[in-house]
Structure 1
Amino acid sequence: MHVKTLKVRLGTVMLQDVKTRNQTSSSFDISCTTQVRIKNTNFGPYKYESTNAMFTYQGVTVGQVSIPKGEARFHSTKIVIVSVSVNSNTLTIMSTTSTTLRSELGSGVLTLNSHAKLRGKVKLMFVMKKKKAAKMNCTMPIHLSTKDVELNCD
């Protein structure tokens, strides 16, 4: 029996609070609610362990959210709704990062990335168990004026 790789993606992102500053020191503080979608196309349930989804800006973690352990039933998509707050407090004042942040805030489009790795087991035909990992890698351009988010997931 062949175990297919599961797909983990972000679903709809709803921005609640968006605060940006682009004067002497550029910064952002964004609160949002999103869906983590775990698609299982196998002939058996996928039980996964809890993990963290990281949100990054230019490779630096600016927020994280916990994905609790759970199960995606066979041939279905499990949707986990999470709330996350991302901010620029953890960014060091490096000239390249601050210049990039200032130009992105000036253009009105802030680009964040999200990463997560789920580990778990697929129980095939309710008999065999196979370990399987699923990775999420998404790019999230946020249009600050309209509060729209475009999701691009691998």
Structure 2
Amino acid sequence: MVERDQVWPLAPSGSLRSDQDEASVFAKNVRKQRFIKCCGCIIAFMLILAVVIIILAFTVFRVKEPVIKMNEVTVTRLELVNGTVPKPGVNMSLIADVSVKNPNAASFKYSNTTTTLYYHGTVVGEARGPPGKSRAWRTMRMNISVDIITDSLLSNPNLKTDTKLGLLPMSSYSRIPGRVNMLNIVKKHVIVKMNCTMTVNISSRAIQEQKCKRHVKL
């Protein structure tokens, strides 16, 4: 017997074209779904980033007020006549122990500090402190020496009354300008001001009834 080669019928040309169209549509749908997923991921990432930035802006990156505090004032030099009146020509000296607390997540760098001392509204002394830097969440302490001009005290008409009581009522004004810098993103100028009232006991050379109020300008 003669074997005949088996002949397979050819597929119609229309069927091949239909398969190609379906493959093309499927590929387009796959690319479209990938594009939508990619856009969705980008949008979700941007939303999460925006929420994180907002949270940081109101928590960690929010600039908080530095706290200045007058811890102690010490009389280091006071020469008296008859034990009650400051000696003419000899200045009286005070040392103020001042602390600057930085509650921010970045350092607080401040320039020269100034402290002015008043006696019944008249300037009797002034001092300048060196610039410094308070690290994040840390407290910086410094001693400021103030020389009081005794002649300014003696020329004040209230001195006689106060020396009889053995007390010198005084007030001080301190100013600390500085800047808070957070990762070079948030930069804020800050001015810390503090007004204090105190009473110097002439005989014991101690400070009595000290009260302070502070004001911060951002």
What band does the TM-score fall into relative to the shorter chain?
0.7 to 0.9
Indicate the residue corresponding to 2:166 in structure 1.
108
**Secondary structure of the residue that 1:12 maps to in structure 2?**
strand
Instruction: Tell me which protein shows more strand as a share of its residues.
Output: 1
Q: Distance in 2 between matches of 1:40 and 1:83?
A: 23
**Secondary structure of the residue that 2:79 maps to in structure 1?**
strand
Structure 2: stretches of 5+ with no match in the other structure: 1-56, 214-218
Once the two structures are superposed, the pairs formed by residues 2-151 of structure 1 within 5 Å of their partners are 2-21=62-81, 27=86, 29-90=91-152, 93=155, 97-98=156-157, 100-124=158-182, 127-150=185-208, 151=210
**Secondary structure of the residue that 1:146 maps to in structure 2?**
coil
* Per-residue deviation, residues 96-116 of structure 1 (Å, max 9, x unmatched): x41x22111110111111112
- After superposition, the Cα gap between the structure-2 partners of 1:80 and 1:90, relative to the gap in structure 1 and judged at 3 Å, is same
Instruction: Tell me which protein shows more helix as a share of its residues.
Output: 2
| Cα offset, 1:27, TM superposition | 4.8
Q: Distance in 1 between matches of 2:124 and 2:79?
A: 14
- After superposition, the Cα gap between the structure-2 partners of 1:35 and 1:87, relative to the gap in structure 1 and judged at 3 Å, is same
The AA in structure 1 aligned to 2:120 is Q
Q: What TM-score, normalized to structure 1? A: 0.82
Q: Say what the alpha-carbon RMSD is for the aligned residues.
A: 2.4
| Cα offset, 1:11, TM superposition | 2.1
| Cα offset, 1:21, TM superposition | 4.8
* Per-residue deviation, residues 64-99 of structure 1 (Å, max 9, x unmatched): 111111111122211111222213323584xxx41x
Q: Distance in 1 between matches of 2:154 and 2:75?
A: 25
**Secondary structure of the residue that 1:75 maps to in structure 2?**
coil
